[in-house]
């Protein structure tokens, strides 16, 4: 979409990968026009008007179950904010499980989708000024778009209550870089690329804690057929995830973060 050559660089210290140089902020903003939200922009997989696929519904269910485990077993009655909510499909899944949901996004297309689905919506600017705090804050496939990832995580932290959880999903650079013809490599808009280790580093820098809970968006879990997942106890996958974190951390699941509970 952008007629330019892009270079990806990796930090020699922390191994974080980013596009450098990237397009300027004002041009970055211009990428997210009306065409983008109907799939005619740099990301052809985006279509806010399309019904969610079976894969999307399954992935949303995995996110809800992962967060439910992280907060004690259920999201029922908990206030959930989804930042960069898009068409609101995750919010619908969370609402079905009893969460009190709010979506936030900078696009009018997202607002229209959420209002059509009768989901509470607050635009990004109003959210920043509101100071509202939630039990759960999620950001699905958002952090790779932002110029300042640490600042973004700190922003999420300002909207989660003490003891609440933050769930971030993005592609694992250690995996997506090897997928033939990967559509994930979109250097116009995907200007950051992460691994579990670099997300853990950002979580620590934001003074957040890692939750000791299995993240069902782990790629190993996702490639196992559904009928196998139903037969194998979740504890087996959790144990495998823990082992992988120790022996091959770059291929482990991304961490779920918690805002530290304030001492009383």
**CATH label of the domain that carries residue 36:** 3.40.50.150
Number of domains in the chain: 1
pLDDT value at residue 181:
73
pTM: 0.94
pLDDT value at residue 94:
98
- Closest to 153 measured CA to CA, from 166, 144, 140: 166
Does 205 fall in a domain? Answer: yes
Residue 11, burial from CB neighbour count under 10 angstroms (0-12, 13-18, 19+): exposed
Does 236 fall in a domain? Answer: yes
Does 232 fall in a domain? Answer: yes
Range of the domain at 25: 8-258
Does 1 fall in a domain? Answer: no
pLDDT along the chain (264 residues), means of 10: 84 93 90 88 87 92 98 97 96 98 93 94 91 96 96 97 97 90 87 96 97 95 92 95 95 96 68
CA distance readout (Å), 101 to 14, 35, 114, 117, 178: 35, 27, 11, 12, 36
Q: Is the bond into 21 cis (omega within 30 degrees of 0)?
A: yes
Does 224 fall in a domain? Answer: yes
Contacts of 52 (CB under 8 A, 6+ apart): 60, 87, 89
Please write the tens of the pLDDT for every residue from 171-218: 999 999 888 777 789 999 999 999 999 999 999 999 999 999 999 999
Does 146 fall in a domain? Answer: yes
Does 3 fall in a domain? Answer: no
Does 212 fall in a domain? Answer: yes
Contacts of 7 (CB under 8 A, 6+ apart): 19, 20, 21
pLDDT value at residue 261:
83
Please write the tens of the pLDDT for every residue from 42-65: 898 888 888 888 999 999 999 999
């Amino acid at each position: 979409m952008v007629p330019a050559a892009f270079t990806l660089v990796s930090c020699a210290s922390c191994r974080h990968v980013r596009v450098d140089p990237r397009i300027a902020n004002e041009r970055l903003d211009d990428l997210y026009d009306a065409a983008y939200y109907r799939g005619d922009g740099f990301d052809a997989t985006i279509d806010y008007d399309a019904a969610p696929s079976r894969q999307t519904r399954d992935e949303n269910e995995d996110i809800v179950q992962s967060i439910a485990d992280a907060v004690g077993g259920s999201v029922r009655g908990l206030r959930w904010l989804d930042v960069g909510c898009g068409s609101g499909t995750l919010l619908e899944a969370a609402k079905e499980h009893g969460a009190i949901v709010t979506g936030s996004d900078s696009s009018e297309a997202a607002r229209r989708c959420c209002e059509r689905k009768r989901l509470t919506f607050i635009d990004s600017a109003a959210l920043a000024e509101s100071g509202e705090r939630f039990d759960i804050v999620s950001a699905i496939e958002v952090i790779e778009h932002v110029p300042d990832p640490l600042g973004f995580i700190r922003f999420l932290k300002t909207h989660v209550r003490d003891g609440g959880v933050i769930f971030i999903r993005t592609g694992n650079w250690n995996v997506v870089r090897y997928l033939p013809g990967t559509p994930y490599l979109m250097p116009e808009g995907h200007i950051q690329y992460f691994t579990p280790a670099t997300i853990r580093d950002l979580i620590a820098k934001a003074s957040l804690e890692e939750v000791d809970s299995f993240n069902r968006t782990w790629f190993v879990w996702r490639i196992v057929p559904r009928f196998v997942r139903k037969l194998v106890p979740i504890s087996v996958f959790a144990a495998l995830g823990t082992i992988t974190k120790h022996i091959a951390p770059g291929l482990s699941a991304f961490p779920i973060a918690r805002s530290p509970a304030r001492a009383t």
